[in-house]
Chains A and B, each alone.
Chain A
Amino acid sequence: MGIKLKALTKSPWVYHLSTGSCNNCDIEILDCLTPRYDLERFGIVLVGSPRHADALLVTGNMTMKCIPRAKEVYEQMPKPGVVIAIGTCALGHGVFDGSYVMPKTVDEVIPVDIYIPGCPPKPEGIIAGVAKLLAMLKQKA
């Protein structure tokens, strides 16, 4: 396991999965990838296919329609891989709490490795969270 995880911390390719967010968290994720924050320094690249992904960036409420799809995308990601839940919505339901179309939170559907709160979290916050996750993985490796 050791070297696999180690290499993963050096080049985590992320796939962006929105499960019914208000779209603001998604915009903040895209902000992270702009030249200003330059995540390629850490080898982080946004990929278009879950098959290439090492990390799922999950945002949003996990609506009823999204539950089977989120599960499928999680299964499509080759292991080892991690899941990062971004935004208050993905943690609990945030401002949408109590809605009847959202029976579950993200971590009740797929296993989440790290939670990044905020509505929406700042790009700095997202980067800090990802850096903590990478440090955690490095310790495990």
Chain B
Amino acid sequence: MNPILVYIICFPFTAIVGMLVSWIDRKVTARLQWRVGPPLFQPLYDFVKLLGKETIIPKGSSKITFLLAPLFGLVAATFVSMLVWTAILWPEKSFGGDLIVVLYFLMIPSLAVIIGGFASRNPIASLGASREMKLMLADELPFLLAVFVAVIKAGGAIRLGQLIAYQQTHGWVFLSASGICAIIVAIITMQAKLTLVPFDIPEAETELMSGVFVEYSGPPLAIFKLTRMMMLFTLPMVVVVVFLGGMHFQGISILWSILKYVVLLVLIILIRNTNPRLRIDQAVRFLWGPVTILGVAAVVLAFLEW
């Protein structure tokens, strides 16, 4: 396969798999609550329906920012997915420092949500955006610490391809004391980055209605929803590449690769369904307290080569 082809099909592929994954999320949630749950094409119906609706731009909002914010998020999510898949398919082709680029791009969907929320000139959206900002400040540090562990283990590799190659010869980063600490931190912060329960504080339905998205309607809302679905697929993929040795597509290892992702997804869904929502101060205290300490411990362990 040609890399150019990957660049072209990356967006539709990520979008379709993202929709599938978000359907799995909703279906499993429904089954856990002893319900039947939505049909398979539900995310697609939602998306098409939103595309067909009217776009309302609130009076007094900054129009261009309001409409462009969702696009920034979508583009960033697509880029992350593209970099990760290039690294998975051709570990030697990824460029130096693409891990850092991925980490930057992973932040942009949250930034887009913040910008969009502030641009919509709605008190509820502003409140949601400020919460999202605090949450982002809280979860970035532990997430970086967790990724740092993998970098130390691989001898200072900041190329995704190098990380995958290292794990092929030396075993997964996950299979060590520091790796286990790091992946726990990564899973918790992943939940916060995806703003799923217990960290769905920015859009808490019961107190903030839909928080940052409150003024969005029609196609921009559809794009935000699509970005979230794509992130639900892409972010666990990053974790798989960094900690669980990436994916391989020869023979039986296809199943094995998919299993890694599915286990992470099921963990996310289970955490989401068995926890109440935290308050923003509790979330920040939790992420900067125990989680960061665990992250620091993981880094220290990694330096000691455990």
Contacts and interface: CB of A to CB of B under 8 A. Distances in A.
B56 A76 contact: yes
B45 interface: yes
Contacts of A11: 42, 45-46, 49
Nearest to A53: B217
A4 B30 CA distance: 27
Contact of A78 (B26, B41, B56, B208): B56
B54 A78 contact: yes
A131 to B, nearest CB: 15
Give the most central of A11, A35, A43: most B CB within 10 Å: A11
A51 B217 contact: yes
A111 interface: no
Interface in A15-62: 35, 38, 40-41, 43, 47-49, 51-52, 54
B52 A4 contact: yes
Interface residues of A, number: 21
Contacts of A8: 49, 52
Contacts of B267: none
A56 B161 CA distance: 51
A40 B30 contact: yes
Interface residues of B, number: 31
B212 to A, nearest CB: 11
Given A35-B35, A40-B38, A49 B48 contact: no
B205 A43 contact: no
B221 interface: yes
A11 B42 CA distance: 7
A49 B210 contact: yes
A32 B303 CA distance: 56
A38 B35 contact: yes
Contact of B210 (A7, A38, A52): A52
A95 interface: no
A41 B38 contact: yes
Give the most central of A3, A47, A51: most B CB within 10 Å: A51
B35 A3 contact: no
A76 B215 CA distance: 9
Contacts of A47: 210
Contact of B53 (A38, A43, A80): A80
B217 A43 contact: no
A54 B26 contact: no
Given A35-B35, A38-B35, A52 B217 contact: yes
A69 interface: no
B55 interface: yes
Interface string B200-227: 0000010011100111111001000000
B84 to A, nearest CB: 30
Nearest to B225: A52
Contacts of B55: 78
A11 B39 CA distance: 10
A49 B41 CA distance: 24
B198 interface: no
Contacts of A40: 26, 30, 35-38
A118 B295 CA distance: 58
B40 to A, nearest CB: 11
A132 interface: no
A3 B39 contact: no
A35 B217 contact: no
Interface string B11-51: 00000000000000010001001111111011001101100
Contacts of A49: 209-210, 213-215
A86 B303 CA distance: 65
A48 B214 contact: yes
A49 B55 CA distance: 14
B45 A10 contact: yes
11 contacts: A3-B48, A4-B52, A7-B49, A10-B41, A10-B42, A10-B49, A11-B42, A40-B35, A40-B36, A40-B38, A41-B38
Interface of B: 26, 30, 33-39, 41-42, 45-46, 48-49, 52-56, 205, 208-210, 213-218, 221
